[in-house]
């Protein structure tokens, strides 16, 4: 049986923490689909297409990774891809409560799909897309937080805004 995992998120922008979870997932699952959520409730820094491009460039060296996007319920998307696992990264206890709720409702909707929680590498435990955007917006150094091509894109985006 092929184990297909979906690693969902907004990835606005993708961080080294995201990439760490995805890379480690490639060692556990036969195929990993990194899925960008269209979230109409947020105003993203990057369009979905831009996020897909940044992710593809970041992950191009992983032959078992696919980058995609989706609308609607995650569980419907996971089913449509014939996946059997949702991968979620946890940075801290504060993440766990939200992730537990999401995993529970997903399990109620489809008990054949498991949620796989992976603890972030300690060096990324503080890192989030929001922090990257806040630092970049205030002209701080985001090198080491995101890949170089993402750093360049974030800086360019804020240079166009201000």
Between CA 96 and CA 37 the distance in angstroms is 20
Say whether 74 counts as a known binding-site residue.
yes
Q: How far apart are CA 24 and CA 26, in angstroms?
A: 5
Active-site hit among 25, 58, 129, 133 = 129
Q: Is 124 annotated as a binding residue?
A: yes
Choose the catalytic residue: 38, 42, 56, 76: 42
129 is catalytic: yes
- Tokens encoding 141: 């150094």
Q: Residue 18, annotated ligand binder?
A: yes
What are the structure tokens assigned to 5, written together?
Answer: 């995992």
**Residue 139 is assigned to a ligand binding site:** no
Phi, psi of 69 (to 5 degrees): -135, 165
Nearest Cα to Cα of residue 5 among 72, 84, 89, 91: 84
Verify whether residue 42 is a known catalytic residue: yes
List 31, 51, 58, 91, catalytic entry: 91
Question: Does 88 count as an annotated binding residue?
Answer: yes
Q: Does the annotation place 122 within a ligand binding site?
A: no
Known binding residues:
10-11, 18, 42, 74, 88-91, 99, 124-130
Q: Please give the positions annotated as active site.
A: 18, 42, 91, 129
Known binding residues for ATP:
10-11, 18, 89-91, 99, 124-130
């Amino acid at each position: 049986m092929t184990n297909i995992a979906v690693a969902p998120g907004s990835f606005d922008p993708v961080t080294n923490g995201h990439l760490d979870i995805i890379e480690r997932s490639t060692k556990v699952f036969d195929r990993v689909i990194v899925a960008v959520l269209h979230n109409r409730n947020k105003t993203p820094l990057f369009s979905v297409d831009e996020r897909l491009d940044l992710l593809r460039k970041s992950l191009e060296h992983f032959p078992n990774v696919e980058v995609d996007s989706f609308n609607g319920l995650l569980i419907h998307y996971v089913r449509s891809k014939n996946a059997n696992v949702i991968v979620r990264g946890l940075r801290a206890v504060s993440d766990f409560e939200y992730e537990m709720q999401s995993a529970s409702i997903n399990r109620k909707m489809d008990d054949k799909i498991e949620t796989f929680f992976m603890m972030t590498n300690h060096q990324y435990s503080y890192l989030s897309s929001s922090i990257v955007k806040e630092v970049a917006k205030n002209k701080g150094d985001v090198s080491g937080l995101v890949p170089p091509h993402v750093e360049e894109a974030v800086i360019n985006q804020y240079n166009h805004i201000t």
